């Protein structure tokens, strides 16, 4: 049996997809801070990359399985793979498609003769197409599916030329490449697919008829073609808490708001116990660890860090991987200082950071009637709860978000 490894490429930033809808001002009116990456839009509860991985995993008994991913997303993706018992190895994505492919090849631990490479953007690949490609294994250095063009095609440079459409091909993936030849092609520069690189070094290319169903997801509007299941309307809830000790000083920061007082909070960062609890609540809702894992106090990078920036990184991640923040409720336990004058400003700041309206943020402050370490003015304790949902791209297409 021919040894073939499966490589899926899913490390891109989806810039064209995220820029393919209304301008940012209009999105903000609909309380959308940022569109998700296309590989993270949901069909039901699962992200698109997982749908593709499951389908191609079952297409053939591959000798190895590798998935390229953005470095920040690798631990989170591993939880999904573990949940569905998929034995993909995760490779760090590069700045180009070819760099991501190189990184994926570098962690193959088998003596694969060929690699079957596809992009997550090909999110609806028929099994029939996979089988047609795989049946050609060994006949060519690269097997490529293609589609014909049916419109008149003109090329304009210094002059205008009408091209013979019957001689033109729309190249698709997956592509099946001889691994040794593919590696050799990398020495010739950066190519947008395997076939063009292999052709550049004189390798043999075998074309097979592709399928319209395997078209590439590039723009938001392309989703209408695929008729994917709606994202789940499940509500996700997360809770978080944090404590920091007080000592004498010249002020604290809570909820992103500086508060003048004769105290300071003892912490590696700026000590914003309110935003730290909120970070943990958000991470808890999506199952992505905790603030200590993301920003360890053993890392000098985060010494005196602004907690607003830490929260912004987490919020950016949340939107990128396909969620929407809906609501936040925070309770601050502090004997001193008195926080009533600052609650509204905190709510405004937190709403801005989360990308939701102020009326969906609630900050409460209470004392402990001089009981415990809070009552003795030794520290401040905060509890936070958040509500999230899956990003509803179906409604965005309809313009009803």
pLDDT in tens, 253-280: 999 999 999 888 877 778 899 999 999 9
User: Which pTM was predicted?
Assistant: 0.89
pLDDT at 191: 94
pLDDT at 155: 83
CA-CA-CA-CA torsion sign (213, 216, 221, 227): positive
Task: Kindly state the tokens that stand for 161.
Answer: 């030329």
pLDDT digits (tens, 9 = 90+) for 143-154: 999 999 888 888
Domains and CATH numbers, the chain: 4-226 (3.90.550.10), 235-396 (3.30.1330.50)
pLDDT at 24: 47
| 230 in Cβ contact with 395 (< 8 Å) | no
Q: Is the pLDDT of residue 296 over 90?
A: no
* Binding-site residue ranges: 242-244, 268-269, 276, 290-292, 295-299, 366-369, 373, 376
Higher pLDDT, 248 or 286: 286
pLDDT at 30: 54
pLDDT digits (tens, 9 = 90+) for 51-91: 999 999 999 999 999 999 999 999 999 999 999 999 999 99
pLDDT digits (tens, 9 = 90+) for 8-22: 999 987 777 766 555
The total of other beta-carbon atoms located within 10 Å of residue 285's CB is 23
- How far apart are alpha carbons 68 and 81 in whole angstroms? 13
Q: What is the mean pLDDT of residues 124-133?
A: 95
- How far apart are alpha carbons 237 and 341 in whole angstroms? 29
Q: Which helix (H) or strand (E) holds 381?
A: strand 379-390
């Amino acid at each position: 049996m021919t040894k073939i490894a499966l490589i899926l490429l899913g490390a891109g930033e989806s810039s064209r997809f995220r820029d393919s809808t209304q301008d940012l001002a209009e999105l903000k009116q609909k309380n959308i801070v940022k569109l998700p990456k296309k590989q993270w839009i949901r069909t039901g509860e699962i992200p698109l990359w997982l749908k593709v991985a499951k389908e191609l995993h079952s297409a053939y008994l591959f000798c190895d399985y590798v998935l390229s991913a953005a470095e920040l997303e690798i631990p989170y993706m591993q939880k999904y793979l573990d949940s569905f018992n998929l034995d993909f190895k995760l490779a760090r994505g590069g700045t180009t498609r070819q760099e991501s492919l190189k990184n994926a090849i570098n962690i193959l631990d088998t003596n694969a003769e060929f690699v079957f490479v596809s992009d997550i953007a090909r999110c609806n690949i028929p099994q029939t197409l996979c089988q047609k490609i795989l049946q050609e294994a060994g006949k060519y250095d690269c097997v490529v599916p293609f589609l014909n063009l049916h419109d008149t095609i003109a090329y304009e440079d210094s002059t205008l030329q009408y091209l013979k459409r019957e001689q033109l091909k729309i190249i698709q993936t997956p592509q099946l490449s001889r691994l040794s030849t593919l590696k050799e092609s990398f020495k010739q520069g950066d190519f947008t697919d395997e076939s063009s690189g292999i052709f550049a070094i004189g390798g043999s290319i075998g074309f097979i008829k592709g399928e319209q169903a395997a078209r590439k997801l590039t723009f938001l509007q392309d989703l209408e073609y695929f008729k994917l299941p709606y994202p789940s309307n499940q509500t996700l809830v997360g809770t978080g808490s944090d404590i920091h000790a007080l000592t004498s000083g010249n002020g604290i920061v809570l909820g992103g708001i500086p508060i003048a007082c004769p105290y300071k909070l003892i912490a590696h960062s700026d000590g914003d116990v309110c935003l730290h609890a909120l970070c943990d609540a958000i991470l808890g809702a999506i199952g992505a660890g905790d603030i200590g894992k993301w920003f360890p106090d053993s890392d000098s990078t985060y010494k005196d860090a602004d907690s607003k920036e830490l929260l912004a990184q987490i919020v950016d991640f949340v939107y990128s991987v396909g969620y929407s923040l809906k609501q936040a409720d925070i309770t601050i336990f502090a004997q001193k200082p008195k926080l009533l004058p600052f609650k509204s400003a905190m709510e405004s700041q937190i709403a801005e950071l989360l990308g939701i309206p102020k009326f969906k943020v609630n900050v409460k402050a209470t004392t402990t009637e001089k009981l415990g370490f809070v009552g003795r003015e030794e520290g401040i304790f905060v509890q936070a709860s958040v509500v999230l949902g899956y990003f509803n791209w179906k409604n965005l297409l309809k313009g009803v978000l």
